[in-house]
Amino acid sequence: MNTSCLELFLLYYKEDQNINQDNFFHYFDILYNKALEEIKNRLNNLPINKKEYSLEQISKEVFNLNIDGAERLNMYYKVQFEAMIYVFKDYYKIISNNFRDLENFYNNIKFHGALQYYLYLYGNILCILGEFEIRNGIKPIREFVIKNRVDSFEVFNSSLNLKNDNIPLSPLLSFNSSVFLIRQSIELKLKNMLGIDYILDIDNKELVKIPGDSLLDFVFNNKNIEIPDTIQKGILKKIHEWTQLFIHGGFIINIWQIHIAHIILKDLFQPNSYEHDDKRIFSIYGSVKMKKNYYDNQLDKEIIDYLKKTYKYVSNKNIEIIKLKNPEAIIY
């Protein structure tokens, strides 16, 4: 295995607690640029479309799990290559901008966490590059082998550690947990923005279970619910489906997708302010807005009608929405 200088550099410095600030960024800049140039040169030698994609174009395709057939498989690789280059550049900027001028940055746990992610990101890039080169009869100049599965023993013991607040997790479990939390954040946001605490089957005195993404269509097809224009239903649905690969399969692949998902979802969790009685009120749930009259008088009935129409097992139930005291939305 031909180990790269950037890999060795990151392996060393992610553990070092006594870093010379000037030396670190001097070599980090040099090795980043060298690694980026090598990645681009290897991509140029591959039989793929050379067109560069914007973040918007990447976002629409990078979570697509349908890779049936040679054409779709080639498109899958092309989009993953564009995404990995974007995140490789973006995370370099994040490390540089957040820590270059920060005093004693080497004592900052976030710095070492960022290096950990960057090391696995780079390794993941080398893996997929080598894989595609071999498929096309090209001998990789550099190969990288990393574990890309978590097993049940590791997951269970990590659960014990989390219960007792014993952190950190292993890097692979951290990535897997990050994806699980992305999924949970989407499901909770969809439920909580509508003020739903839980849904009750009144006759049987039991909770009604609905799929985590069941309210996507209701929310995005509802003109009374104001959502940031940057959040698109189709992409949100793809992200939600993509999380299953990590959670249910234990796969840890293409970890640049995690960063892309965070970028896309950021506006859904962005705080905002609003006018109320000639005062400006700040809300951490300010990304979603609804008129108070609609929220108080129409919303619950529309949700119940939608669920009964959409899900057969709910259609004959006498259900009631138990409300949150504070919905995750601005009600004005």
- pLDDT grade for 17, boundaries at 50, 70 and 90: low
User: In terms of Cα–Cα distance, which of 59, 39, 96 is closest to 257?
Assistant: 59
Query: 293 with 243, same domain?
Result: yes
Query: 233 with 119, same domain?
Result: no
Query: 162 with 285, same domain?
Result: yes
How much of the chain exceeds pLDDT 70, in percent? 97
Please give the pLDDT value at position 257. 98
Alpha-helical regions (H) of the chain = 5-13, 21-44, 55-61, 70-99, 109-135, 152-163, 171-192, 216-220, 233-249, 256-265, 292-297, 299-310, 312-315
Structural domain count of the chain? 2
| Residue 147 lies inside a defined structural domain of this protein | no
Tokens of 25: 């960024």
Query: Is the Cβ–Cβ distance between 193 and 272 less than 8 Å?
Result: no
| Residue 143 lies inside a defined structural domain of this protein | no
Query: Is the Cβ–Cβ distance between 46 and 57 less than 8 Å?
Result: no
Query: 314 with 261, same domain?
Result: yes
Query: 156 with 301, same domain?
Result: yes
Query: How distant, in Å, are the alpha carbons of 45, 89, 141, 154 from that of 40?
Result: 9, 12, 13, 36
Query: 73 with 159, same domain?
Result: no
Q: 321: which DSSP letter?
A: E
Query: 169 with 110, same domain?
Result: no
Q: CA end-to-end span of the chain, whole Å?
A: 61
Query: Is the Cβ–Cβ distance between 268 and 231 less than 8 Å?
Result: yes
Mean pLDDT of 290-302: 97
Q: Mean pLDDT lowest for which of 155-169, 299-313, 317-331?
A: 155-169
| Residue 144 lies inside a defined structural domain of this protein | no
- pLDDT grade for 329, boundaries at 50, 70 and 90: very high
| Residue 145 lies inside a defined structural domain of this protein | no
pLDDT tens-digit profile of 71-125? 888 889 999 999 999 999 999 999 999 999 888 888 888 998 999 999 999 999 9
Complete DSSP assignment for 45-72: TSSS--PPPPHHHHHHHTT-----SHHH
Please give the pLDDT value at position 195. 98
Structural domain ending residue among the three candidates 83, 106, 135: 135
Query: 310 with 201, same domain?
Result: yes
- Tell me: pLDDT of 203 over 90: yes
| Residue 18 lies inside a defined structural domain of this protein | yes
Query: 103 with 165, same domain?
Result: no
- The C-alpha atoms of residue 224 and residue 208 are separated, in whole angstroms, by 25
CB-count burial class (<10 Å; 0-12, 13-18, 19+) for 84: buried
**Residues spanned by the domain of 249:** 152-331
CB-count burial class (<10 Å; 0-12, 13-18, 19+) for 100: middle
Query: 164 with 308, same domain?
Result: yes
- The C-alpha atoms of residue 229 and residue 215 are separated, in whole angstroms, by 18
Please give the pLDDT value at position 234. 96
Q: Which residue bears the tokens 């960024």?
A: 25
CA 133 to chain centre: 27
Please give the pLDDT value at position 2. 60
Query: 166 with 311, same domain?
Result: yes
| Residue 115 lies inside a defined structural domain of this protein | yes
Mean pLDDT of 183-200: 97
Query: 188 with 67, same domain?
Result: no
| Residue 142 lies inside a defined structural domain of this protein | no
| Residue 141 lies inside a defined structural domain of this protein | no
Tokens of 315: 């259609």
Cβ of 55: how many Cβ atoms within 10 Å?
A: 15
Question: How are strands ordered across the β-sheet holding 225-226?
Answer: 225-226, 289-290, 330-331
